[in-house]
Amino acid sequence: MKPSLVLKMGQQLTMTPQLQQAIRLLQLSTLDLQQEIQEALESNPMLERQEEGEDFDNTDPLADGDALPNPGTQEVAFQESTVPTVENLEEGDWHDSERIPSELPVDTAWEDVYQTSASSLPSNDDDEWDFTSRTSSGESLQSHLLWQLNLAPMSDTDRLIAVTLIDCINDQGYLEESLADITEGFDPELDIELDEVEAVLHRIQQFEPAGIAARDLSECLLLQLRQLPPKTPWLSEAQRLVGDYLELLGSRDYSQLMRRMKLKEDELRQIIELIQSLNPRPGSQIEASEPEYVVPDVIVRKHNERWLVELNQEAVPRLRVNPHYAGFVRRADSSADNTFMRNQLQEARWFIKSLQSRNETLMKVATQIVEHQRGFLEYGEEAMKPLVLHDIAEAVGMHESTISRVTTQKFMHTPRGIYELKYFFSSHVSTAEGGECSSTAIRAIIKKLVAAENAKKPLSDSKIAGLLEAQGIQVARRTVAKYRESLGIAPSSERKRLM
């Protein structure tokens, strides 16, 4: 092929580092953002934290003479009050070409054009970083049992058997391996027999929590019943039911139970209540997962019959450019030190601007959500309206991908609790009058109907669909089943209770 020059025209998306930074900060959760800010403060000498009680100027440090709006408190009528978020810096003779525009674009029509996550690890010189608050977790079940084992007098061989048995207990508290397999796993020179392993198992089954190291559900419940006071009403009958007729109880065949155990309905009901007070998963009492912290980004409160939306100012520290270091920058100096200071100052200004842009976008979206879901704030889940990302995107003039970023891992504190912003979005179902009802409201209605049902004759999915249709909500039976399962509600056959 002969080489040649060809002139072509085309378009392509070029994302500047500043736009990438703005999008990255927009999609971070509050905890990740705090870590990102801490890393920026440590790496950039031009940035500093606005300390509590210091004078705060409303003018903007990022552009000469052009003040930017600061997202403070907003009513659902979109009235703003100026609550400053950045500190003023006189830039002096900073060159006009290096000014930052008043509007920083963070909206984009491309999904996931820039993804990143803030590091959860601190720098080596961070003295304020609390290791225990970020790495501590609850006590594991194995460590809890080993702690009790250390307090029990036992021979070395029995202790070896006990440690092996504890390692075979799952998170629910059940022994996963059979005693025969555990016995075969020991060194033949130790000459450990099955009787010794079973004897040690019985000792472990006396540990806390009650019912631990059981091999099946029946043994787990029996272990818990044996630790109850001997004078507990219906104790012997409950032990007999758990030991011999647990399958009938699981299938809720109460008539067969009453016939085989020769009990009346009221007597059987009291026995079942005693069994239901036990824990079928004793290991779950020991929490081993790491604690999860939720810091609300937005606070919603009612004042003078109006709903106010405001950013949680305590969640994100206020930043400013350090005027002392900024004064060292000289425009005409091209030395390495001065170039470094100029670059750090520019990065600090962009970082503050990106934070402010994030806050403004978050306030716009949160205010629109509160405006749309005012019924939920007033009356609860049953008043939730259908809402999709497109509705909010159209109201604030942004792309749906931007709304998705803003509502992910962002939380709103309301008088009804703390909710992720995505919670307020739901699909719709048509009503008989031609209107729409949100899926969240339907779930709340289903939950209310099940809570008020006759426990002896629970409502089937078809019956619930009929009750919803009577209220003008047209929902198929399979849709009711899907909503019921998402709420963690068992089928009607499993909800049946003996009155």
Tens of pLDDT along 83-140?
333 333 334 334 433 455 555 555 544 444 434 333 334 444 444 444 344 444 557 8
Both tokens of 368, joined, read 């629109």
User: Could you read off the pLDDT tens digit of each residue along the chain, which spans 499 residues?
Assistant: 678 788 888 776 666 777 787 888 888 888 888 888 889 889 988 888 877 656 544 344 444 433 334 556 666 544 333 333 333 333 433 443 345 555 555 554 444 443 433 333 444 444 444 434 444 455 788 888 999 999 888 888 999 999 999 999 998 899 988 898 898 888 888 888 899 999 999 999 999 989 999 999 999 999 999 999 989 998 999 999 999 888 888 888 888 888 998 888 888 889 988 998 999 999 888 865 666 778 899 999 988 888 999 998 887 778 888 888 888 887 767 788 888 888 888 898 999 998 988 899 999 999 999 999 998 999 888 888 888 889 899 998 988 888 888 888 889 999 999 999 999 988 777 676 656 788 888 888 988 888 888 877 888 888 888 888 888 888 888 888 888 888 888 888 777 776 5
Tens of pLDDT along 403-436?
888 888 889 999 999 999 999 988 777 676 656 7
pLDDT of residue 106: 54
Q: Angle at Cα 398 formed by Cα 393 and Cα 403, nearest 5°?
A: 60
Domain with residues 428-495, CATH architecture: Orthogonal Bundle (1.10)
Tell me which DSSP letter residue 96 carries. Answer: G
CA distance 359 to 406: 10
Give the percent of the chain with pLDDT over 70: 79
pLDDT of residue 7: 85
Give the side-chain half-sphere CA count within 13 A for 362.
Answer: 37
Pair 37, 319: CB distance under 8 Å = yes
Domains in the chain: boundaries:
20-114+297-359, 141-285, 428-495
Both tokens of 275, joined, read 């069994």
For CA atoms 76, 82, 83, 87, the dihedral sign is positive
* Tokens 């006759």 sit on residue: 454
DSSP codes, 359-392: HHHHHHHHHHHHHHTHHHHHH-GGGPPPB-HHHH
pTM: 0.63
Pair 31, 37: CB distance under 8 Å = no
pLDDT of residue 135: 41
Q: Which residues have a Cβ under 8 Å from the Cβ of 40 and sit 6 or more positions away?
A: 47, 351
